[in-house]
Amino acid sequence: MALRTGRCLCGACSYEIDGEPVVVAICYCTDCQRHSGAGHSTGAMYAESGIRLSGQPATYSMQSRAGNTVTRLFCGNCGSPLFGKNSGMPGVMTVTMGTLDVSDGMLPQVEIFTRTRRDWDRPDPAIQSFDVQPDWKPEDGI
């Protein structure tokens, strides 16, 4: 079982994760674009029970277009985005890949919301792509 670690930019929030990701995904939705400040967000979805967090992240919750509550956890000091939770997928959290100390071997497997991908953000033809969020649950596998 793999142990991965990560932290925010200032180090006030850090985490450890036991286990392998359920999926690694690139999301081009407009919410992720605004949250990341980039054309997309890359995240690794893990079982929430395997994540241990140190520090007190701030949270922001909003309703997605699908009607689910999306909660984003970020460092209240430096603003680094750390995790995301979606009420439509209980028991899992998405880790923002850029906060991992080491992400070797964790290649994206799927791209979602490609219909809102920015012109300057290039797709990866080697992985599955979906115009919107597929009707998918972690237990379905990829």
Q: How many domains does the chain have?
A: 1
Residue 138 lies in a domain: no
* Average of per-residue pLDDT across 128-137: 75
Residue 140 lies in a domain: no
Residue 28 lies in a domain: yes
Please compute Rg for the chain using Cα positions.
14
Q: What pLDDT does residue 73 have? A: 97
- Model confidence pLDDT, tens digit, residues 107-118: 999 897 878 788
Q: CA 64, CA 130: separation in Å to the nearest integer?
A: 17
Residue 139 lies in a domain: no
- The pTM of the full predicted model, rounded to 2 decimals, is 0.84
Residue 142 lies in a domain: no
- Name the one residue in this structure whose structure tokens are 């959290």: 93
Residue 141 lies in a domain: no
Structural domain of 58: 3-133
Which tokens belong to 72?
């984003």
Which distant-in-sequence residues (6+ apart) come within 8 Å of 131 by Cβ?
A: 113, 114, 115
What CATH number is given to the structural domain containing 101? 2.170.150.70
- Model confidence pLDDT, tens digit, residues 73-103: 999 999 999 999 999 889 999 999 999 999 8
